[in-house]
Amino acid sequence: LKGMFASQLGRLKVDVHINDKKFQGDDDDYFHVLEGDFSQGSSRMGSALDIDRSVEIVVVAYDEASGIDAHGNILKNLGIVKIFKKVSGTWSFIESLTPPMELVRPHTKFGSSVVVNTPYGRDDTTILVGAPGCATAFVFVYHTTSEAWKEQARLYPSDSTLSSEHRFGGSGAVALHGDLAFVGSSAMEQVYIYRRSYVADEGYVKWALYSI
């Protein structure tokens, strides 16, 4: 995919080119633009992104987008993540993800890293979002039954003394594989592994640090 980069010059868009060589001799170039929100100013749309082809969902981060706290104060570099879904051949915006209000603070940089994954044979799609400014990674899940994105968990490093300086969940530092989540801290030179388990008898989901 060409043209995937943060809009440092204020273009506020991500260009998607798909070259189709399905028919011999024909090169059809399909072009689509995921437009940003110009009201966000210099928000670095496309600072991180990921795609899940199985459900045709693209997750795009704006890690320097401004936000507002509970008192109406403007916060710089709070961050926001937007979800786009391909519907009838067109990528359409469907929802925004933001950090919980109790964790809202300047320079949270929510969306410094993102990844989306749908486990094979299941109807739940998971998005993992890194927010190094508060040393947290957030898990959001979409169920076809509820048709809504909901926060499922907050993943913290085992060392509670980690701060924004340790870049927990920083750029390129998150990954998903089924019910396993990986969050890196480049300053600590460590990767933390978490496992999701389903407690059927009590009807809830649990994420915990996983030891091999």
pLDDT of 35 higher than 90: no
CA 72 – CA 43 distance, rounded (Å): 19
pLDDT of 154 higher than 90: yes
Cα distance between the two ends of the chain: 35
pLDDT of 10 higher than 60: no
CA 77 – CA 200 distance, rounded (Å): 39
pLDDT recorded at residue 2: 43
CA 91 – CA 74 distance, rounded (Å): 30
pLDDT of 20 higher than 60: no
CA 47 – CA 45 distance, rounded (Å): 6
In this predicted model, what pLDDT tens digit does every residue of 49-100 receive, in sequence order?
Answer: 999 999 999 999 988 888 888 888 888 888 899 999 988 888 889 999 999 8
Bridge-partner residues for 54, per DSSP? Answer: none
| Confidence at 138, pLDDT banded by 50, 70, 90 | very high
Query: 12 by DSSP, 3-state: which?
Result: coil
pLDDT of 198 higher than 50: yes
pLDDT, mean of residues 99-121 = 91
CA 43 – CA 66 distance, rounded (Å): 7
